[in-house]
């Protein structure tokens, strides 16, 4: 079966009605893709989007993602389960939460997980459509035991949006707080204003609405998706995705941004982040959304995001798969600024190390004979440096993904205007940030076949971008006018057998 038109009936066909031979053929086709990844989470077939249920439970890390296994489109969603001992090597456990009840008949939508005793609570949004295709939204729960067996809680945790809000009411986050629990959720008022609502409960089945969270002066568009409240050394950080936010209130280029606000304290009585800093981009690249962030039991604050964006198309759509997850990052606050750094566990991927160093000048290969787009690169540039780093380049550097850097004047731009497979150009082909001038500049870069994650100045800024090179586009070039550089290039192993 070759599907050329995804009708509503196909998108919402129950999983058990899909032909097994079709699924097998689909997975075989996907495996032939030259853009398959070597150390990022990706779907076996079909679509992956929001990360869900990120947690540590029963001696392992657990992570789910929203999945539609039958094509690169948004259809009947389920949760696909993965486990890991090190946050790097992930074992696929299969689809674990499927639409199966009257409260989630049209999709198991996004949510979070929280260990409670000997069980892992999975909180999610059940999506339902009535005969007239009107949306109904239920906040649901399920419990996973130590054998990774999941039982759904029969009745909704929250049976309906509160009065004054539409059924765009989704993505619950449950966290422990003051001996009980808080539930943070995205919502939309009947006036179509995006809000974050906060509930409180003494148990995970008994919730009382505290009200709308007050966290910034501007209106957050017409909907807020995937709100996560975490505490970094007791300082509250809200990470969220506003849809339709006015660009005069916040400058962004992606169709929808992934953002954060740092407050001084969380005032639960007044449902407020006190003295919030201005809203900022969590990621400055082309492709990151729906980040899920947790306070991990080892004291770290960890995040993972969807490397993709809603409502946009990508070259792998033609090969019947779409999207991946970002690497797991650690979040910290230094001098009242949010940093995102690569987790130390990623060092287990390192294989051959090659030192790199030189003076900036004419175009030159940074690493000779780089055979594939699977590497980690750390570079430090001197404070007067000004130049370009070209990734995913062919031998003649005709179609690179380019990183422009100007340490002297404090400016960094990523540019995918020349890549061989342009994508989503309506939202621009460059992203630019400003940094402190005349300071040493560092990049930690992870390249994995069709994704690039760039950490700037030890994680003060991060760029996540999808790039879809041809087979021969594995070269790295550097050029510039002033300054010098040094660093290390590591070949990385695959996490897939």
Residue 342: closest CA among 302, 373, 372, 295: 302
Distance between CA atoms of 12 and 334, rounded to whole angstroms?
46
Residue 240: closest CA among 215, 217, 264, 272: 215
Task: Quote the tokens at residue 302.
Answer: 């960890």
Distance between CA atoms of 77 and 493, rounded to whole angstroms?
32
Residue 434: closest CA among 466, 402, 412: 412
Given 19, 38, 50, 132, the catalytic residue = 50
The pair phi, psi for residue 30, each rounded to 5°, is: -60, -40
Angle at 191 between CA 190 and CA 195, to 5 degrees: 80
284-310 burial by CB neighbour count: b if 16+ within 10 A, else e?
bbbbbbbbbbbbbeeebbbbbbbbbbe
Active site residue 50: yes
Cα–Cα distances in Å, from 290 out to 266, 396, 413, 495? 22, 37, 23, 24
Residue 446: closest CA among 361, 350, 368, 360: 350
Distance between CA atoms of 457 and 180, rounded to whole angstroms?
38
Residue 273: closest CA among 286, 261, 256, 287: 261
Task: Quote the tokens at residue 80.
Answer: 């696909």
Q: Are 237 and 338 in contact (CB under 8 A)?
A: yes
Active-site residue set: 50
């Amino acid at each position: 079966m070759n599907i050329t038109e995804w009708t509503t009936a196909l998108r919402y066909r129950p999983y058990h009605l899909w032909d097994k031979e079709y699924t097998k053929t689909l997975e075989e086709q996907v495996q032939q893709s030259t853009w398959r990844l070597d150390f990022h989470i990706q779907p076996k077939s079909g679509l992956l989007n929001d990360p869900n249920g990120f947690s540590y439970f029963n001696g392992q890390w657990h992570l789910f993602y929203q999945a539609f296994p039958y094509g690169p489109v948004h259809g009947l969603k389920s949760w696909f389960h993965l486990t890991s001992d090190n946050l790097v090597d992930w074992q696929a456990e299969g689809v674990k939460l499927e639409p199966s009840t009257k409260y989630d008949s049209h999709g198991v939508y996004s949510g979070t997980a929280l260990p409670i005793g000997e069980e892992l609570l999975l909180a999610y949004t059940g999506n339902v459509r009535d005969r007239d295709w009107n949306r109904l939204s239920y906040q649901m729960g399920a419990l996973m035991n130590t054998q990774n067996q999941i039982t759904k809680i029969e009745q909704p945790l929250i049976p309906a949006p509160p009065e004054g809000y539409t059924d765009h009411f989704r993505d619950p986050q449950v966290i422990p707080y003051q001996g009980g629990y808080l539930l943070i959720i995205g919502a939309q008022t009947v006036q179509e204003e995006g809000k974050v609502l906060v509930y409180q409960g003494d148990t995970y089945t008994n919730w009382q609405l505290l009200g709308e969270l007050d966290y910034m002066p501007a209106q957050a568009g017409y909907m807020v998706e995937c709100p996560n409240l975490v505490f970094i050394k007791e300082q509250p950080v809200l990470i969220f995705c506003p849809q339709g936010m006015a660009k005069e209130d916040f400058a962004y280029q992606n169709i929808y941004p992934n953002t954060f606000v740092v407050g001084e304290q969380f005032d639960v009585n007044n449902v407020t982040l006190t003295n919030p800093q201005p809203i900022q981009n969590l990621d400055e690249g082309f492709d990151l959304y729906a980040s899920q962030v947790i306070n991990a039991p080892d004291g770290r604050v960890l995040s993972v995001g969807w490397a993709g964006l809603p409502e946009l198309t990508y070259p792998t759509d033609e090969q019947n798969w779409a999207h991946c997850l970002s690497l797991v990052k650690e979040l910290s606050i230094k001098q009242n600024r949010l940093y995102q750094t690569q987790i130390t566990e990623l060092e287990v991927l390192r294989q051959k190390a090659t030192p790199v160093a030189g003076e900036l000048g004419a175009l030159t290969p940074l690493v000779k004979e780089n055979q594939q787009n699977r590497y980690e690169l750390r570079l430090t540039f001197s404070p007067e440096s000004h130049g370009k780093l070209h990734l995913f380049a062919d031998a003649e550097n005709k179609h690179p993904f380019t990183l422009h850097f100007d340490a002297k004047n404090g400016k960094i731009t990523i540019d995918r205007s020349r890549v061989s497979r342009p994508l989503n150009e309506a939202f621009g082909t460059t992203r630019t940030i400003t940094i402190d001038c005349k300071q040493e500049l560092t990049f930690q870069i992870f390249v994995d076949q069709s994704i690039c994650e760039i950490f700037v100045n030890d994680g003060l800024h991060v760029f996540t971008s999808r790039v879809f090179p041809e087979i021969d586009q594995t070269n790295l070039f550097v050029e510039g006018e002033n300054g010098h550089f040094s660093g290390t290039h590591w070949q990385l192993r695959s996490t897939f057998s």
